Amino acid sequence: MYREVATYDWTPDSVRLIATPSAWAKSSLYYVQEVGHFRTLSTYFTEREGLDSFLVVYTLAGLGHLLYKEKPYSLKPGDVFFIDCMEYQRYAADPNNQWEILWVHLNGGAARAYYEQFRSSAGDPAVRLPRGTNVPSVIRELIQLHSRKDYRTELVSSKLLTDLLTELTLAAQELEMPPAAERPGYIGDMVRLLDRSFRERWTLDLLAERFAVSKYHLAKEFKRYTGFSPGEYLINVRITKAKELLKYSDLTVSEISRSVGVEHVTHFINLFKDRVGHTPLAYRRKWQRPK
């Protein structure tokens, strides 16, 4: 059930724009529900739950506070939070500070998937963004776009929201990553080995022995730096090579299976269908030109 309590305490020069997306935008695009730029007064707050929306708030100046999933966060210049408004939330200006924020309520497309990836990587809804981030400029563009709506508004908004969600997700992932100088050299060596020798039978034990690393540590670090387990990375390399052979060669499916390092053709067909959505033959018929 939707519930909201708020004080609309912001300066006269603040901006709040409400959008009504078309049915096409709601079914096919990312879309803005509301967007704005507030210079809040010390008494400003919003408390709500049950709203079908995702909210991104970027702090330009001052100090704000967020309570989300029973955990408090302080919001300083350069901080952003990204939350699911179905959950209980309360955000407010600090009593002793004017809080200046850029914000956007959004939905549509794979917004939930972006949100879940952000939370999975960042751990918290509020993070400090790196210098040079495009998040504030993207929200400013959304404000300008919705202040003078025309036939471009919904399409360009969707593009800008994709940029915004991508930047937030990448920033959250980079929080997990130590500086490049601290990354183990064997990770890059292993990637190159799997790219080059994907036909060979590689197990976690063999890789650990090859690089003289504990297999548990190796699996954890490889996933951390590539986003894949070693096994999944190897499968993806094999599937990518199989796609190339299906499109540009006359090899049979059985021959392709062996050529990419999968001994049993039935296993290869199942792997391919699981990751591509088609059997190898269906994929070939879709892409290969008739003779």
18-29 residue pLDDT tens: 999 999 999 999
Q: pLDDT by residue (tens digit) across 227-244?
A: 789 999 999 999 999 999
> Do 165 and 80 contact (CB within 8 A), yes or no?
no
Place of tokens 């387990």: 229
DSSP, residue by residue, 154-202: HHHHHHHHHHHHHHHHHHHHHHTPPPGGGS-HHHHHHHHHHHH-TTS--
71-75: strand order across its sheet: 3-7, 45-49, 89-93, 64-68, 71-75
**Whole-number average pLDDT of the chain:** 92
Share of the chain above pLDDT 70, in %: 96
Residue 97 has what pLDDT?
86
> Do 67 and 91 contact (CB within 8 A), yes or no?
yes
CA distance 86 to 185: 43
pTM, 2 dp: 0.73
CA distance 217 to 182: 15
The 3-state DSSP composition of the chain as helix, strand, coil percent (nearest 5) reads 45, 25, 30
CA distance 21 to 290: 43
> Do 236 and 194 contact (CB within 8 A), yes or no?
no
Residue 204 has what pLDDT?
93
Three-state secondary-structure class, residue 286: helix
Cα torsion 162, 163, 166, 167: sign = negative
177: how many CB neighbours lie within 10 A of its CB? 12
Longest dimension (CA), the chain: 75
Look at 45-59, 103-117, 218-232 and tell me which has the smallest mean pLDDT: 218-232
Q: pLDDT by residue (tens digit) across 160-186?
A: 999 999 999 988 877 555 555 567 889
